Structure 1
Amino acid sequence: MIRGVRGATTVSKNQEDEIVSSTEDLLKKMIELNNITPESVASVFISTTDDITAVFPAKAVRKFKDWTYVPVMCMREIPVPSSLKMCIRVMMHVNTNINQNKLNHVYLKEAKMLRPELSNN
């Protein structure tokens, strides 16, 4: 069974170091809370709002040992006028037998407002 593990975070500046660092923190938390191994990951989609352009956030994935062959793709979010700005969202597709309601989705910083019912981190 493939399940989607969701996560999101925000940055305060459109700067490479902050984008990569914030994405890395988010991914670490998603991996830790869900006991994810690279072999169980089918793919990772990372989206950003249109105000993040300094670097591909996927660069953070390449910092993880043994994640070299995990397929990762970056894309843009739909620019809805009232949406949260400076936001990075992650959808990790993981092979698991865990029920959907037992997965730990991770929302950090200002992104906690996106899914407050899931933001117990």
Structure 2
Amino acid sequence: MAVRAIRGATQVDADERDQVLEATAELVREVLTRNDLAPDDLISAVLTATPDLVSEFPAYAARIAGLADVPLLSATEIAVPGAMPRVIRLLAHVETDLPRGSVRHVYLRGAAGLRTDLNH
């Protein structure tokens, strides 16, 4: 079994707690589903938010979305001028038999524009 990293991102319409909770939960579910993973397959995850999102910790949202015993960390993305606003990003470290080329990275909502090279 290998350790793989899976990336993902989503965008919310506004800095509202319910939107951050919902969008983060959706992102976590999609990463697990698209890669045929269970929460037990996750080693850890880092979740970031752009500086304009302060209504809730993305890691808390992931925790209530089912990652109860996975080590999680929330952080703030650097404030790059012109960067896409209101984005939550995920970097998950997982144990899987998937070859690196078969890992499905997940970009949802407006964040799909961050990775136009991926088939969303």
| TM-score by shorter chain over 0.5 | yes
1:53-68 map, 5 Å: 53-65=54-66, 67-68=67-68
Instruction: Tell me what 2:85 maps to.
Output: 85
Residues matched between the structures, number: 119
Alignment gaps of 5+ in structure 2 = none
* In 2, Cα distance between equivalents of 1:28 and 1:100: 20
Q: Distance in 2 between matches of 1:44 and 1:109?
A: 20
With normalisation by structure 2, the TM-score equals 0.93
TM superposition score normalised by structure 1: 0.92
Q: Alpha carbon RMSD of aligned pairs, Å?
A: 1.1
Identity %: 33
Moved over 3 A (4+): none
- How many Å apart are 1:60 and its aligned residue? 2.1
Measure the CA separation in 2 of the matches of 1:22 and 1:51. Answer: 15
- Once the two structures are TM-superposed, the CA of residue 99 in structure 1 deviates from its matched residue by 1.3
- Deviation per CA, 1:11-57: give whole Å up to 9, x if none: 11111000010111111111100011122111010001000001101
Query: 2:28: which partner in 1?
Result: 27
Q: Which whole-Å CA distance do the structure 1 matches of 2:117 and 2:100 have between them? A: 14
